[in-house]
Structure 1
Amino acid sequence: MINAIVMIDAEAHAIPETAQAVADVDGVTEVYSCAGDVDLIAIVKVRDHQQIAEVVTQRINKVPGVVNTATHIAFQSYSSADIEAGFSIGE
């Protein structure tokens, strides 16, 4: 599974509607509204890189209210449980 984080600039007056429309896109598992440099962050989980291109460029970018996107591909996932397990090796 390939994970991508898509940073989305949205039209300010339509952020809730845009967020819901992005959340309804196949391949998008979560959408967060946030403060900071971007309006929304979408988590995309698909089987291959070609699907990321399809989800972002052919679907998310065409959602009404989406102004701009920047996509980051995740290489490695870490969680507090993973970190604790790493420190307990050999005990």
Structure 2
Amino acid sequence: EWSLDSAFWDAYNEGVISMRVGNGGGDPDFFAWKLSDGASTGSFSYERLAGGGGGLSNLKLWGRVTEVIRIEEPANIALFIIGLFGLFASRRFSQTHP
């Protein structure tokens, strides 16, 4: 079983739990799970099916902040109109000044 303090989601907006097993001889010997937004508890199980080594080596919690930049609709339209005006002006200027 695992649990996270809610302060994790106050600091980060993405999270991953990773696990490394044994002596590094497995294929693969490293696993990672992306956490659902706001997840605070969960469980996992691990079973070595064959071979030597393979014990749980470590678990790590990774957090990342990603910034989402949103451009509102009126700004998109304004940028499009300015771009069209610039294109029109450059064509007109190039026709009158060869």
TM-score > 0.5, shorter chain as reference: no
Which one has a bigger Cα radius of gyration? 2
Please report the TM-score for the alignment, with normalisation by the length of structure 1: 0.38
Task: Specify which structure has the bigger relative contact order, considering alpha-carbon pairs within 8 angstroms and separated by 6 or more residues.
Answer: 1
Please report the TM-score for the alignment, with normalisation by the length of structure 2: 0.36
